[in-house]
Amino acid sequence: MRYAGAVGAAMLLGLASLALAWMTGGITGSFLGPDESAHYVNTLFLADWLRAGLPSPMTFARDFYAHYPKLSIGHWPPGWYALWAPLFALAWPSPFAAAILSAVVAGWPALLVLWAMRRMGAPRIGLAAALAMLASPLAVDSARSFLLDQPVALVVGLGAIAWLRAAEAPGWRRFALFGALAAFAPLVKGNGALIALVPAVEILLARRWAILRDRRLWVVAVATLLVVAPWYAVSFRISAGGFNYAPGLAYAWLALSTNVAALVEDLGWVGIALMVAGAVLGWRAKGARPVVRLALAVIVATLAFQSIVPVALDPRYVLPALPWAVTLIATAILLVWRRGGMARPLAVVLALTALVSPVTALVHLAPKRDMGAPAIVATMRAAPGIWMVDGRAGGEGAIIAEAAYQDRGRRSLWAVRSSQWLSGSDFMGRGYHLIARTPEEAAAILDRIGVAGAVIVRDRHREAYPHSAVLLRTVTGGAYRVMQRRFDQGDGDVIVAIRRSPITPHPEALGQADISRNVKAMAR
Q: How confident is the model at residue 246 (pLDDT cuts 50, 70, 90)?
A: low
DSSP letter for 288, please: T
Question: Residue 250: what pLDDT?
Answer: 83
Question: Residue 416: what pLDDT?
Answer: 95
**What's the pLDDT tens digit per position in 391-439?**
999 999 999 999 999 999 898 999 999 999 999 765 445 567 899 999 9
Give me the chain's average pLDDT, please. Answer: 91
Q: How confident is the model at residue 524 (pLDDT cuts 50, 70, 90)?
A: very low
Q: How confident is the model at residue 117 (pLDDT cuts 50, 70, 90)?
A: very high
Question: Residue 63: what pLDDT?
Answer: 92
Question: Residue 425: what pLDDT?
Answer: 67
C-alpha triplet 433, 30, 41: angle, nearest 5°: 70
Question: Residue 130: what pLDDT?
Answer: 97
Report the half-sphere exposure of 158 (CA within 13 A, side-chain side): 18
Domain spans in the chain, listed from the N-terminal domain onward? 3-29+94-363, 373-523
Q: Work out the average pLDDT over 256-266.
A: 92
- Per-residue pLDDT for 247 more than 80? no
- Per-residue pLDDT for 243 more than 70? no
Q: In this prediction, what percent of the chain has a pLDDT beyond 90?
A: 81
| CA 232 to each of CA 62, 182, 219, 314: distance values in angstroms, whole numbers, following the listed order | 21, 14, 20, 22
- Per-residue pLDDT for 3 more than 90? no
Question: Residue 515: what pLDDT?
Answer: 35
- Per-residue pLDDT for 298 more than 70? yes
Q: Tell me if 267 sits within 8 A of 358, measured CB to CB.
A: yes
- Per-residue pLDDT for 505 more than 90? yes
Q: Work out the average pLDDT over 277-300.
A: 96
Q: In this prediction, what percent of the chain has a pLDDT beyond 70?
A: 94
Q: Minimal CA–CA distance to 278: which of 150, 120, 107?
A: 120
- Per-residue pLDDT for 522 more than 60? no
- Per-residue pLDDT for 72 more than 80? yes
- Per-residue pLDDT for 241 more than 70? no
In this structure, the dihedral spanned by the alpha carbons of residues 237, 241, 245 and 249, taken in order and rounded to 10 degrees, is 80
- Per-residue pLDDT for 4 more than 80? no
Q: How confident is the model at residue 180 (pLDDT cuts 50, 70, 90)?
A: very high
Question: Residue 56: what pLDDT?
Answer: 93
User: What residues have CB less than 8 Å from 177, skipping those under 6 apart?
Assistant: 162, 165, 166
Q: Which of 367-381, 459-473, 504-518 has the lowest mean pLDDT?
A: 504-518
Q: Minimal CA–CA distance to 20: which of 106, 128, 147?
A: 106
Q: Work out the average pLDDT over 303-328.
A: 91
Question: Residue 488: what pLDDT?
Answer: 94
**What's the pLDDT tens digit per position in 186-198?**
999 999 999 999 9
- Per-residue pLDDT for 169 more than 60? yes
Q: How confident is the model at residue 148 (pLDDT cuts 50, 70, 90)?
A: very high
Burial of 323 (0-12, 13-18, 19+ CB in 10 A): buried
Sequence length of the chain is 524
Q: How confident is the model at residue 523 (pLDDT cuts 50, 70, 90)?
A: very low
Question: Residue 1: what pLDDT?
Answer: 59
- Per-residue pLDDT for 244 more than 60? no
**What's the pLDDT tens digit per position in 316-330?**
999 999 999 999 999
Sheet hosting strand 451-459, strand order edge to edge: 413-417, 385-390, 451-459, 492-499, 480-486
DSSP letter for 206, please: H
CA 427 to chain centre: 25
User: What is the Cα–Cα distance from 199 to 434, expressed in whole angstroms?
Assistant: 51
Q: Tell me if 327 sits within 8 A of 291, measured CB to CB.
A: yes
- Per-residue pLDDT for 248 more than 90? no
Q: Work out the average pLDDT over 4-8.
A: 84
